[in-house]
Amino acid sequence: MKFSIIFEFQCSDVSAEGERETLLNCVDQAVFAEEMGFDRVWAVEHHGLKHYAHMSAPEVFLTWVAAKTSKIRIGHGVVCMPFGYNHPLRVAERVGMLDSLSGGRLDVGAGRGATAMEMSGFGVNKEDTYPQVKESLEILSRCWQDDIFEWNGSIEISPRSVIPRPVQLPHPPLFMACTKDETVKLAAEYGVGALVLGFSGPSQVRELRKIYDEAITARNDEDCISATPTNFLSALCPTIVLDDAEKAFQVGARGQKFFAESIQHWNIGTPLPQLVPDDVDIRDAVRDAKERVEAFMVEGGHPVPSVVASTGPFNINHAYGDRDDAISYVAELERSGADEIMCIMQMGGIPHEIAMETIRQYGEYVIPHFASS
């Protein structure tokens, strides 16, 4: 069982000062995660999604973290791979540079960046996102196999050396963001690791693992994009752990409500997220927020499956509590087939000191429990 921490760089205070303070707090949390025994730090890539994710240049963030650490793996979770966001040749060059600087600690995830706000800013067409993600992964998997690389696909790359080369040859481990059953299957077919959300809980992770394993069994490994298939499923785990279990729940669920409202704002146009006052029980606030999103979508004529998927992030039955609660929840994810627990605690409104205390509790109690078992 591996443990990682993922950063959206989510901001409740979007002033210039608040934004910078949050960014520096993310760095401190990532560095402390290494000290506490976490295996990996992931950083997303998003553009223009105010409040939800200010991580527009993860390669810079990850390089800064790599310079301040020595053992923890550094993960793009993910690079937006459609060509309008990132030319695949530039992705390869950055991958080679960061893998070299970090001493071979880099993992590379691919994603679509498919919100309207992001696509419109970079001239990306939604129908092109899936094939361009696949083609970018193909380029990354092949560009260091020979001294001279050439590519003739939907994008043309004239003969050249792709430098610098990474430490991990023929390429660093590859992953893909999987927000749907179909993308989990694609990840397996491509031979790359699956980064899944699983907001509906361990039962959803179990179903996704089944889809992933069945597709692995059915594929021909020679058809994989990855030179060395990465059969690995990482499951998101919203978590806050404190000695006071109820306080951990109240704080964590408040952060998750902010997370859910902010992403739905950018996905479907609901209002911006609102922080919940301390004197309001978070259970009531989350229920009301979920109902508002459901009503908004039904009025907009969205199909029922889309409504269900969009309200999944409002499920607050996660690893919020004391150390025993966290161990119990992580054990459920492990039994459901997760190879890695991808902890998210940097959510809007969660104080830095509580995120740091959660990392400490994982390092001193949760991670050792699974290492010993």
The residue range of the domain holding 305 is 245-314
- Sort 15 into a burial class: Cβ within 10 Å, 0-12 / 13-18 / 19+: exposed
Say whether both 118 and 261 belong to one domain.
no
Say whether both 103 and 164 belong to one domain.
yes
| Last residue within a domain, chosen from 284, 314, 344 | 314
CATH number for the domain harbouring residue 368: 3.20.20.30
- Condensed to tens digits (0 to 9), the pLDDT of residues 120-148 reads 999 999 999 999 999 999 999 999 999 99
The SS3 of residue 160 is strand
Q: Which are the contacts of 294, defined by CB distance < 8 A and separation ≥ 6? A: 307, 311
Say whether both 274 and 230 belong to one domain.
no
Quote the pLDDT of residue 12: 97
Say whether both 176 and 43 belong to one domain.
yes
Say whether both 123 and 256 belong to one domain.
no
156-160 and 149-152 strand pairing? antiparallel
Say whether both 192 and 228 belong to one domain.
yes
Q: How far apart are CA 157 and CA 19, in angstroms?
A: 38
Say whether both 176 and 111 belong to one domain.
yes
Sign (positive/negative) of CA torsion 55, 258, 12, 342?
negative
Quote the pLDDT of residue 302: 83
Say whether both 180 and 35 belong to one domain.
yes
Say whether both 218 and 327 belong to one domain.
yes
| Last residue within a domain, chosen from 267, 292, 314 | 314
| Last residue within a domain, chosen from 271, 292, 314 | 314
Written as one string, the DSSP assignment of 188-210 is HHHT-EEEE--TT-HHHHHHHHH
- Condensed to tens digits (0 to 9), the pLDDT of residues 226-263 reads 999 999 999 999 999 999 999 999 999 999 999 999 99
Say whether both 198 and 118 belong to one domain.
yes
pTM for the model stands at 0.96
Q: How far apart are CA 146 and CA 18, in angstroms?
A: 47
Quote the pLDDT of residue 207: 97
Q: Give the chain's domain count.
A: 2
Say whether both 252 and 190 belong to one domain.
no
Say whether both 109 and 237 belong to one domain.
yes
